[in-house]
Amino acid sequence: MKVFYAVYRTSITLAILAMSTASVAQIDGAASVLQRYGNLDIERTGPTIDAELGQKYLRRGNTYSNLERFEEAIDEYRKAISADPSLADALRNLANTYYYLERFD
């Protein structure tokens, strides 16, 4: 989570710096900052961990499970694990749902 926050914070800082540099009419400096900002966007296309999003998917999965809509619960648990692979509750609930449905393969 700290890596995502650092990249996000750096991107916003660079964007603000670029806008303020452009307003002072230092076009070369603004172009340099915007070029670095664009490079950060390319670097961020890899997987990122979003714990808050993972928790939201986990809660939705739990709701579906309580309603006995198990296929939808499985989808939500998988989304939670994709958002935050270290989310143990989602992994456990996914395993329990498969066990309940007797899907051992």
pLDDT tens digits, 57-98: 999 999 999 999 999 999 999 999 999 999 999 999 999 999
In a domain, residue 105? The reply is no
Indicate the pTM of the whole model.
0.55
pLDDT digits (tens, 9 = 90+) for 8-29: 455 555 556 555 554 555 555 6
| Share in percent of the chain as helix, strand, coil (round to 5) | 80, 0, 20
In a domain, residue 9? The reply is yes
Length of the chain: 105
Structural domain boundaries, residue 30: 2-43
Which CATH number do you get for residue 63? 1.25.40.10
19 and 58 share one domain: no
How many domains are there within the chain?
2
36 and 73 share one domain: no
- Cα dihedral 73, 75, 80, 85 in deg (nearest 10): 120
Residue 4, sorted as left (phi over 0), alpha (psi -120 to 50) or beta, turns out to be alpha
39 and 55 share one domain: no
